[in-house]
Amino acid sequence: IPAAVVATLSQLNRWVADHRRVVLIDYADNNAFRYLQRMDFFERIGVTLNEDFSRRESGNAFVPIQEIPPGSATLNDEVANRLAACVAETEDPFDDLYRLCQYSLGELIANCRQHSGATGFTSAQYAEKKNMVRIGVADSGQGILSSFFTGGSPHYREDLTDESALAL
């Protein structure tokens, strides 16, 4: 679910940035309405709604939607730290799983920051019944090939495709 939610949010964000008119209808009748509220979906699109539930701390059970603004990569990314804690169920910087997740998710977030040119989003949720964590990361930016071109990357070549740029 986090991947679908942040992918949808990313596309909505892109449409708004492109000055397209976006209208949400009957959203409160959707079965996922309260879940989307708790994950801060509506807040991220600028819609303030009354909530008929009490919020609790998420702990390591889930990470509400977090924005990934475009820009340069940062060390010890706070968003990567939150996602890693959800996966490893700890914030212990010496825990091997936490460190692995923090590093790999930090690299993914850095890629989004550096190459998308647009705001990205991420979220995570622990599915207790399946004993697994689902993580979603999405942006609707320019893509790596365009990033190579606009950023003057030494990797850019005229014959590159989106797939080959991604492989690089």
pLDDT in tens, 33-73: 999 999 999 999 888 888 888 888 888 889 999 999 888 77
Q: According to the model, what pLDDT value does residue 17 have? A: 85
Q: According to the model, what pLDDT value does residue 135 have? A: 96
How is residue 27 written in tokens? Answer: 């959203």
Q: According to the model, what pLDDT value does residue 4 have? A: 94
User: Cα–Cα distance between 120 and 147 in angstroms, integer?
Assistant: 15
Ramachandran bin of 2, using left for φ above 0, alpha for ψ from -120 to 50, beta for the remaining angles:
alpha
Q: What is the pTM of this model?
A: 0.84
Q: According to the model, what pLDDT value does residue 36 have? A: 93
Amino acid at 161: T
User: Which residues of the chain are under the pLDDT cut of 70?
Assistant: none
